[in-house]
Structure 1
Amino acid sequence: MLTGKTALVTGSTRGLGAAAAAAFAAAGCNVMLNGFGEAEAIERQRAALAEEHGVTVGYHGADLAKLAEVEALFAAAEGISGAVDILVNNAVIRHFSSIDAFAPADWDRAVAVNLTAPFHLTRLALPGMRKRGWGRIVNISSVLGIGARSGRVDYVTTKTALLGLTRATAAETRGDGNVTCNAICPGSVLTPNTEIKIAELAKAEGLAPDAARREYLKRRKQPGDFIAPARIAELMLFLCRDESRDMTGGAIPIDSGRSASWLEEDT
């Protein structure tokens, strides 16, 4: 049922967003990519998805901290087929700082990208979704939208607020036909950003790569291994299929039980 739909996925030039874009393209959706990176690499990604799956794939490099560029991104996505049927708010900025040392400019930008941009894209998407009687909004929150860690104030705050936006959107669209809004709350995912943090941990503590990887997960109380981006992308697809039409306003953890067991003693 997703064939021919158009999906706008923010932060989709690498990591989890790239996995989501690939999954939607494989399901027959046209896709609008967004994010930063080397122009040649992004073009290779765009062209490969279009050629492999026979769909239209666009790219817009909007800076999501700027309203005019957010609106231009939405217009470009809508221009692919005349509609944005699926919106995945995935783009994120991460900082690592205590509250008292947090730079005000970094705070403002994090809130703009992580929370204000999803609000504006939702605002722009809803009229068309309501008119067509079909739409899916998937907000990528985090296990840190459910709990918290020190030194992550911008991430914890915006990912928690994104759950509020999800519930508010679901409340406002309950009577609008087959329109839903849900949030996914992943645990630790192996993305390029995560790999950087593991490398920093290995260097700081003189650990071998595998040992640093295990230590990284241990400190986050996540059992087993990292959550694979492809599995999270499959959950996104499920939330966009008709089987999930009665699910809206949810905050769905995919974290190997991490958020369910934070109070347990380490064993």
Structure 2
Amino acid sequence: MKRTFLITGASKGIGRALSERLARDGHNVVGLARSSGDTTFPGTLVSVDLTDREGTQAVLSDLDARFEFDGVVNNVGFVQLSPLGSIDLDGLDRAMRDNLAPAVQTVQTLLPGMRKRGWGRIVNLSSLVVLGVAQRSTYAAAKAAMISLTRTWALEL
């Protein structure tokens, strides 16, 4: 069965590999990335700065009207080095906001359609950095929070 998936951070790394795999398996892929100039992307690639809430919402609302999404993969991640002793509190706020808000915003926009159709999947990617990696305190905290969101959403859904 052909399904339609939205993937954040889809232009490189894990997001790109997953986009290629889903497309190769016959699925429709819509990717979100900072740049949409890649003509080799295996689906629809849309440019959006996921740290811009208003811009992100406009893109998500437009895509939700154009596609019937069966799933979302929250892959995007923003890393900033932050060694203990020099963690900037504004940087901590930014790490939490920029790594978590896009996932919440994306799911909340696409969830009503998945519920209406009676089927959907949400995949939130985290990182092994949650187990401890030097100079990654803020990123690790954000990715640990992503795991908590995932577990909570599983119980709610």
Task: For 2:96, give the aligned amino acid.
Answer: V
**Contact in 2 for aligned 1:64/1:112 (Cα 8 Å):** no
Describe the shift of the 1:20–1:77 C-alpha distance in structure 2 as closer, same or farther (beyond 3 A).
farther
> Matches of residues 129-140 of structure 1 in structure 2 within 5 Å?
129-140=114-125
Task: For 1:78, give the aligned amino acid.
Answer: D
| In 2, Cα distance between equivalents of 1:120 and 1:140 | 15
> Matches of residues 95-244 of structure 1 in structure 2 within 5 Å?
95-145=80-130, 147-173=131-157
Partner of 1:191: none
| In 2, Cα distance between equivalents of 1:162 and 1:144 | 12
* Per-residue CA distance 1:191-216 (angstroms, 9 max, x = gap): xxxxxxxxxxxxxxxxxxxxxxxxxx
Give the paired residue count. 157
Task: For 1:24, give the aligned amino acid.
Answer: L
After superposing on structure 2, the runs of 4+ consecutive aligned residues of structure 1 that deviate more than 6 Å are none
Structure 2 residue matching 1:116: 3-state secondary structure: helix
* Per-residue CA distance 1:76-123 (angstroms, 9 max, x = gap): 332443x22110000001112214323344333322221111111111
- The reply on whether 1:64 has 2:50 as its aligned counterpart is yes
**Contact in 2 for aligned 1:91/1:113 (Cα 8 Å):** no
Structure 2 residue matching 1:101: 3-state secondary structure: coil
Moved more, 132-141 or 122-131: 122-131
Aligned-pair identity in percent equals 32
Is there any run of 5+ residues in structure 2 with no aligned partner, and where? none
Describe the shift of the 1:100–1:168 C-alpha distance in structure 2 as closer, same or farther (beyond 3 A).
same
Bigger relative contact order, structure 1 or 2 (CA pairs below 8 A, ≥6 apart): 2
TM-score (norm 2): 0.89
Moved more, 63-72 or 126-135: 63-72
| In 1, Cα distance between equivalents of 2:4 and 2:83 | 40
The equivalent position to 2:16 in structure 1, one of 3, 15, 18, is: 18
Structure 2 residue matching 1:33: 3-state secondary structure: strand
- The reply on whether 1:77 has 2:75 as its aligned counterpart is no
TM-score (norm 1): 0.55
| In 2, Cα distance between equivalents of 1:99 and 1:123 | 34
